[in-house]
């Protein structure tokens, strides 16, 4: 299915509800974010996650990040929010910063890659947030690309890369170029997983952590 949402997202309520229904039916779709297009599915469904991995041709031991609809969604997937993480949330969310935080035990292993952490982000892309809000919980946000290939910036690239995808949400060309910055927050330090849009030095300055 193909969706082109109105610029006034209030007028897109019915389409957002349709997208939410597809997600609840374990469908996988491409949605825009503030960096690249991402692949969204129900992160609490083993069936949906298996389809996601099949589409991406991705190894099942790699964790999948989540996109939130609002800050309250953190309580559904994260067991604890360290103080340093809260400082970064206040400074950079919504925005291109993915935080790796302690995960709730009950999360599917396919989602966490068997780790005790989960990557989460409150996107600055309004469409992304509205989709998660309509669904009522976070959605997956792994980049829309076959494993080992560059992430897609346009809906045309997505449809060429994934002809069997269940639905696509056209949000126009994604900014692309640089992905989100990913950091893992521990009690006494911050670990850089991937430097992206937000420089790591800026993150350390805000959180008061030490280089790891």
**Chain segment 80-123, per-residue pLDDT in tens:** 999 999 999 999 999 999 999 999 999 999 999 999 999 999 99
Q: 212 falls in which pLDDT band (50, 70, 90)?
A: very low
Q: How far apart are the first and last CA of the chain?
A: 44
Class of residue 172 by CB neighbours under 10 A (exposed 0-12, middle 13-18, buried 19+):
exposed
CA–CA gap between residue 86 and residue 185 (Å, rounded): 10
Per residue in 151-209, pLDDT tens? Answer: 999 999 999 999 999 999 998 999 878 999 999 998 778 999 999 999 999 999 998 86
Q: Model pTM?
A: 0.93
Cα angle for residues 11, 12, 17 (degrees, 5° grid): 135
CA–CA gap between residue 103 and residue 133 (Å, rounded): 21
Structural domains present in the chain = 6-207 (3.90.870.10)
Per-chain mean pLDDT for the chain: 92
């Amino acid at each position: 299915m193909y969706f082109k949402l109105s610029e006034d997202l209030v007028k897109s309520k019915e389409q957002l509800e349709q997208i939410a229904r597809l997600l609840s039916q374990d469908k996988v779709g491409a949605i825009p974010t503030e960096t690249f297009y991402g692949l969204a599915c129900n992160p609490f469904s083993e069936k949906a996650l298996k389809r996601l991995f099949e589409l991406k041709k991705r190894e099942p031991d790699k964790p999948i990040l989540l996109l939130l609809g609002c800050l309250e969604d953190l309580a559904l997937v994260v067991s604890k929010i360290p103080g340093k993480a809260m400082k970064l949330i206040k400074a950079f969310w919504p925005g291109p910063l993915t935080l790796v935080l302690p995960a709730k035990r009950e999360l599917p292993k396919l989602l966490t890659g068997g780790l005790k952490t989960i990557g989460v982000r409150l996107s600055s892309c309004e469409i992304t947030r509205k989709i998660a809000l309509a669904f009522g919980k976070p959605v997956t946000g792994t980049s829309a690309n076959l494993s080992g290939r560059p992430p897609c910036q346009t809906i045309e690239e997505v449809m060429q890369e994934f002809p069997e995808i269940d639905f696509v949400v056209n949000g126009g060309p994604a900014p692309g170029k640089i992905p989100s910055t990913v950091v893992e927050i521990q009690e006494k330090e911050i670990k850089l997983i991937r430097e992206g849009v937000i420089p790591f030095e800026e993150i350390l300055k805000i959180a008061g952590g030490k280089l790891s």
